[in-house]
Amino acid sequence: MMPSRRDIQPKPRTVVVIGHGMVGHRFVQSLRERDQAGIWRVVVIAEEADAAYDRVGLSSYVGAWDRSSLALHGNDYAGDDAVQLRLGEAVTAIDRGGKRVVTNRGFEIGYDALVFATGSYPFVPPVAGHDHDRCFVYRTLDDLDGIRRAAEASTPGAAGVVVGGGLLGLEAANALRLLGMTPHVVEFAPRLMPMQVDAGGSAVLQNLVSDLGLHVHTGVGTSSIADGPEGESLTVTLSDGATIDAALVVFSAGVRPRDAVAREAGLPVGERGGVLVDSACRSADPDIYAVGEVAAVDGRCYGLVAPGFSTADVVAEQLLGGSARFAGADMSTKLKLLGVDVASFGDAMGETDNALEIVYSDPLAGRYAKIVLSDDARTLLGGILVGDASAYATLKPMVGREIPGDPAALIAPAAGESGIGLDALPDDAEICSCNGVSKGAICSAITEGACDVAAVKACTSAGTTCGGCVPVIASLLAASGVEVSKALCEHFSQSRSELFEVVMVTGIRTFSELIARYGTGSGCEVCKPTVASILASTSSDHILDGEQAALQDTNDHFLANLQKNGSYSVVPRMPGGEVTADQLIVIGEIARDFDLYTKITGGQRIDMFGARVEQLPQIWRRLVDAGMESGHAYGKSLRTVKSCVGQSWCRYGVQDSVGMAVLLEKRYRGLRSPHKLKFGVSGCARECAEARGKDVGVIATENGWNLYVAGNGGQSPKHAQLLARGVDDTTLVAYIDRYLMFYIRTADRLQRTASWLESLDGGLDHLRAVVCEDSLGLAAQLEAAMDRHVAGYRDEWAEVLADEEKLARFVSFVNAPDVPDPTVRFSDGEVAGDRKVPVLLDMPRLRPQSSTDRRTEREGVAT
C-alpha cells in the first residue's frame, strides 16, 4: 500500500550557525521554540571549547574559576535531536555557490540557510610590544585563565596595566584587583567610560574607583611595552612619558566585528566592519543572515546583548516564513562596576538640538545624576546616573514621553527612587529591554493570575536576563491591586518573619500562649509546625518537650523519616562524610539484626530503611553507644556538609576541606530553619563536593575560602552566588553564622534560600552588605544567636533515650505498647527481570530500584 501524501514528511532543512555565544544560543533556542513542525535542523559550529556561557558576567569567573557557573541554560541541547553542537571547531571558508561551509578539521557541511553569530574580537592597538607573552585580552574564559596564571606568578600587589577605560576595561581592572594586583587603567579619552558617561559623571566615577584602589590615567595613550630592566617585569611607557613597572598588560580598548570569513566569501560589510544586513538581518546573499555584534544592520553594529537577542529572534521568525524586522535598539545600560552603580539611557549626552539638562552632583556622597529634556522641558530624552542608579528602572521607560510634574523632582535626593509613579507609565512603556517586555504585558500577566515575581518571569520572560527590571516588576505587582496576603494562615495574620520577631521580643515559649495573644482559633497543619520551627530556632529545648511535641509533623514527631509503607528510615550523622570502621560495623550489624535495607545517600551518609516505630529507640541506642547521633534527615534543618578529601589526600587540594566540613557540620547541626539546609566544601576549584549547588558552598583557593550562598537543587535548581572570596577560617564561620541567622529570621515558611535571596530587596548586594559589611548593625546579634545555638545543642536521639516520658511515644499502639504493628511485615523478595525489588501489596508495583532480597507487605488489621 502506497503511503498517502500526508504521510510523507518533508526532509528537514539545515541551518548552520557559526558561533555559539549568548546571541547564537538565543537564536537556536528561539528557532527551536517556534519550529513546531520540525522544518529546520540546526548545526552549531563553535570555535571555543565551551558551549555558550554568560559573557556579560565574565568577571564573576574570577575567584570562583568554575566554568559551569556561567553556562547558559540548555546550552548542550541535551535530548534535542534536531540540534548538533560542534565545539572547538572553526569555519574557515564558505562556498556560497555550493552552499556549504568548510571547517578547520577538514569537514564540509551543507546548508540551506547560514547564520553568522561570530560576535566580535578585542581590538589591540599596534603599540610596540603588544604581542609580548605577558600581554592579554579580556574576552573569553581562556583569556581569564591566562591572566590568572600570570598574576599568580607575579609578586603580590604588583601592578597590572589595563589599556582602555571603558566598560570592559573597568571590568578587567576589577579582575586584577581581585587577583591581588594593583590595577592601573590607561584611557586615551579625557574621561572614563566616554561612550556612556559625560564629564561630570566620569569625575564622580573616577573618585569612586580610585577609592577602591584603582590608579586612573586619562587623556594619555600607551606608547610601548618592553621587558623591564631585569626581565622580571614589563615597562609600560605612556604617551606623556610616564612609565609603569607592571607584571602584565590587559588590552580592553574596544572590539571589532568578527567578519573575516564573511569578507573572504565576498559578502558586503559595513563601513566600520560587520556583515551588512537589512532590517530582516539578511545579507546580500538571501540565504545568509547575521545576528549580534557581527551584524551591521543598515550599516550599524550593536554591542549590547539586548539588541543581539532581538536580531536572533528576527532571524528565527524569518526562517519560519515570518515578517519580523529589527526596529532599532535601546542602547541604555545599567551596570555595577567594582560595586559602583552606573547607568545611562536615551540621549545621555544631550545631542538633541536645543536639549536642556538638569544635573545633580554630590562628589562627597559619590552621587551624580543628570536628565536630558526637550527644549520645552516637558519630554524626557535621556539621562546618566552614577553612584546610585535606583531610579533607572522607572526613568528609562519614560524616555520620549511627557514628564508629569517638576522634572527636577526626578533626580532630587528627596525624591527617593524617583518622583514618577508607575501609574504614569503607559502600557507600551518597555520595562524589560533585554526581552522587549512592556508594562502592559506584565500587567496582563498579573491580571491573569501571576501573583509574584517568579510567576511574572515565567509568563513574560521579563527579568530573566540581567534582572535589572525586577524591582519594577515587584512594584507593579504591589500597585496592581493583587493583594498578596502576608498572613501565615487563617489563624495568624502575621508572616513567619513577624512571628519570629514576636517570639524573640516577648519570650513566648509555647504555641498556646502565642496563638492566644497574637492569633485566633486553635491552629492548623500550617501554623503549628511553623511555630514549632520558630521555637526550636530560638532555643535549645527538645522538640518533644511539653506541648511542642504535638506541633510537629510526623517526621519530627518520631525523629525519623516516614516511608511509603509505614516504616521509618534512620540516618545517623557523619560529619563531612567521615565515619570510622567501628561505626560502619555497628551500622552493618543494626541493618542485619533489624532486617533493614541500606543505601548510601547523595550527602555522604548511610540510610537504613524499614524500621518500625517501636524499633527506633533500640536502633538509636546502638548508634549512640557507637558515638553517633541524629543526622536530622527528618527535620527542616542542616542535613549534610558534603566534602571532597581535600589537601589531606588529593594532589589538587589546597585547603583542608574535610576538616572545614566537619567543623561546619558540628557547628550547625540541629539548627532549625524555614527549610532544609545543605552545605558543600570543596578543597580546590575542581569542585568535587558540588558546593555551588548548596545553600552554603565553600570552595578552597590558595588565598583562603570563597563563600557561595543560596544554591538549591530540586525542581528549580539554582547555582549558589559568590558572597565573599579569599576569607580565612574565622571570617568564613562568622559570615556563615550571620547569613544563616538572617535567613532564619526573615524567610517565609518553607522558603528555600535561593527563593529567599531572589525575593530579598536588594538581592545579593543587600545580603553582602548585611553579612560582610554589617550595614544593619546586626552582626553581633546574629553571631550571638548562633553561639547560643551551638552552646545549647544536644543530640535529639540521646535526649529521648534518657527520658522515659519521651520514650513512651515510640510505640505502635498506646494501649498495647509491647505489640508491634502487624501491618508491617517483611518476607523474601521477588525477582523483577534480573533484580530483586521490594513489593507492596495493595499498592502500585515499584519499578526496579534496589537489590534487596525482601518485600514489604501491608495486610488489613481489624480495629
Binding residues for siroheme: 688
Residue 736, C-alpha cell as written in the block: 556563615
Burial class (CB in 10 A: 0-12, 13-18, 19+), 371: buried
Residue 134, C-alpha cell as written in the block: 605577558
- Secondary element (H or E) of residue 831: strand 830-832
Residue 722, C-alpha cell as written in the block: 559568590
Residues 291/281, Cβ–Cβ less than 8 Å:
yes
Residues annotated within the binding site are 644, 650, 684, 688
In 3D, which of 638, 640, 719, 631 has the Cα closest to residue 675?
638
**Secondary structure of residue 502 in the 3-state scheme:** helix
Written as one letter, the residue type at 327 is: A
In 3D, which of 765, 745, 764, 762 has the Cα closest to residue 754?
764
In 3D, which of 787, 673, 715 has the Cα closest to residue 696?
673
Residues 635/672, Cβ–Cβ less than 8 Å:
yes
Residues annotated within the binding site for [4Fe-4S] cluster are 644, 650, 684, 688
- d(CA 604, CA 738) in angstroms, rounded, equals 26
Residue 533, C-alpha cell as written in the block: 520551627
- d(CA 716, CA 758) in angstroms, rounded, equals 13
Q: What residues does 42 pair with on adjacent strands?
A: 15, 83
Residue 769, C-alpha cell as written in the block: 552588605
- d(CA 190, CA 219) in angstroms, rounded, equals 4
Residues 283/290, Cβ–Cβ less than 8 Å:
yes
- d(CA 768, CA 498) in angstroms, rounded, equals 22
Sheet with 696-701, side-by-side order of all strands = 638-643, 677-682, 696-701, 704-709, 721-727
In 3D, which of 346, 352, 317 has the Cα closest to residue 332?
346
Sheet with 300-301, side-by-side order of all strands = 275-277, 295-297, 300-301
Three-state secondary structure string covering 379-409? EEEEEEEECCCCCHHHHHHHCCCECCCCHHH
First to last CA, the chain: 65
In 3D, which of 297, 308, 309, 398 has the Cα closest to residue 347?
398
Residues 712/641, Cβ–Cβ less than 8 Å:
no
Residue 127, C-alpha cell as written in the block: 603599540
Max intra-chain CA distance, the chain: 98
- d(CA 233, CA 237) in angstroms, rounded, equals 13
In 3D, which of 729, 727, 740 has the Cα closest to residue 786?
740
In 3D, which of 319, 309, 248 has the Cα closest to residue 288?
319
* Helix-, strand-, coil-residue percentages of the chain, each rounded to 5: 30, 25, 45
- d(CA 2, CA 90) in angstroms, rounded, equals 44
Three-state secondary structure string covering 196-247? CCCHHHHHHHHHHHHHCCCEEEECCCEEEEEECCCCCCEEEEECCCCEEEEC
Residues 859/822, Cβ–Cβ less than 8 Å:
yes
- d(CA 757, CA 202) in angstroms, rounded, equals 32
At CB < 8 A and 24+ separation, what contacts does 270-274 make? 270/296, 270/299, 270/300, 270/301, 271/299, 272/296, 272/301, 273/301, 274/301
